[in-house]
Amino acid sequence: MQKRTLKISLIQSRIEKEYRENLARVKDIASTASAPDLMAIYENWLGRSPITYGEYLEASQELIDASRSRVLVSGSSYIKQEGVVTSKSLIIDRSGSISIGGKVFPSAATGERARISPGGPPAFMRTQHGFSVASVICVDAAYPEIVRIAALMGADIIANPSIIPANRSYLWRSIGSSRAAENTVYFIHINPTGITYVDGREVLGGSFISDPQGRIVSEMSSEEGILEVVVELSEIDVIRNRWRYLEDVRGILEELYLGALERIKDRVEKRSSF
């Protein structure tokens, strides 16, 4: 079997208040990357105030140029359109291809759900460079169905741009390993560092990469900078030959999912009729 290597770079840094300050800071860090095949950055890397789609796209294009990467998972940003704010994620290919997706379930625990609306399904791109990637924003990774659908679409890599506090890092390591193994994909978790939640909890980095066997193969501590890893995409094929989870599910997709949806709908209708 021919080996297919992929160089992945993750950016871990602070989030400041000002859009331009964040962009300049991240571009400076990205410029030290060694021309990766895929670069990814964390949630709300341009700040936590809503911006326009045009501003987000322009900043993302500047970042992919600064990093000299082939493909960029541009974290996420709060985007305001026609008075509605959603969390959106862009995947950009240097050739000009763009995919935009959203955060399906804004966080209820942090109060985000009271401030923004659901943003739609994850961004997904089948790149021209021999791999496919999906961007599953933050807490959406805690919903196995969302990641499973992305894997069934063909994602080799699940990027998870997030803002996870240090007291929940144990949970995200477990989620990352589980999602990687149950979908036989690479799972990359990208987290900022040196910031705090409104309730005072610290966010201290801990970005990591899990392989298709669910092993965390590389991770960062709390420092700012770049994590660069070369992975073997051919490992996905090797593991899927042994662990046939996706193949099994594809074989009964209609029965498993559509049948379940019909049963759930039927039960809901029966309850509402009482």
Assigned token pair, 88 = 């959106």
pLDDT at position 227: 98
- For CA atoms 137, 157, 54, 27, the dihedral sign is positive
Q: CA 99, 34, 183, 73: dihedral to nearest 10 degrees?
A: -20
221 close to 212: Cβ distance less than 8 angstroms: no
Q: What is the largest CA-CA distance in the chain?
A: 63
The pLDDT of residue 271 is above 60: no
The pLDDT of residue 270 is above 90: no
109-147: pLDDT as tens digits: 999 999 999 999 999 999 999 999 999 999 999 999 999
Q: Looking at residues 197-203, what average pLDDT do you find?
A: 93
Band the pLDDT of 268: cuts 50, 70, 90: low
- Residue with more model confidence, 126 or 257: 126
pLDDT at position 272: 55
pLDDT at position 121: 97
Q: Looking at residues 175-198, what average pLDDT do you find?
A: 98
90-112: pLDDT as tens digits: 999 998 999 999 999 999 999 99
Burial 9-37 (b: 16+ CB within 10 A, else e): bbbbbbbeeebeebbebbbebbeebeebb
pLDDT at position 3: 57
Give me the residues paired with residue 226 across strands: 11
pLDDT at position 7: 98
Does the model's pTM come out above 0.85? yes
Band the pLDDT of 14: cuts 50, 70, 90: very high
Cα end-to-end distance, the chain, whole Å: 59
38-75: pLDDT as tens digits: 999 999 999 999 999 999 999 999 999 999 999 999 99
CA angle 170, 174, 180 (to 5 degrees): 145
CA distance 44 to 247: 35
- The pairing of strands 5-12 and 38-40 is parallel
pLDDT at position 255: 78
pLDDT at position 261: 78
pLDDT at position 172: 98
The pLDDT of residue 257 is above 90: no
The pLDDT of residue 162 is above 70: yes
209-251: pLDDT as tens digits: 999 999 999 999 999 999 999 999 999 999 999 999 999 998 8
Over pLDDT 90: what percentage of the chain?
88
CA distance 151 to 249: 11
- The amino acid sitting at 106 is P
3-state SS of the chain is: CCCCEEEEEEEECCCCCCHHHHHHHHHHHHCCCCCCCEEECCECCCCCCCECHHHHHHHHHHHHHHHCCCEEECCEEEEEECCEEEEEEEEEECCCCEEEEECCCCCCCCCHHHCCECCCCCEEEECCCCCEEEECCHHHHHCHHHHHHHHHCCCCEEEEECCCCHHHHHHHHHHHHHHHHHHCCEEEEECCEEEECCCCCEEECCCEEECCCCCEEEECCCCCEEEEEEEECHHHHHHHHHCCHHHHHHHCHHHHHHHHHHHHHHHHHHHHCC
pLDDT at position 1: 46
Assigned token pair, 156 = 């080799």
- Residue with more model confidence, 123 or 272: 123
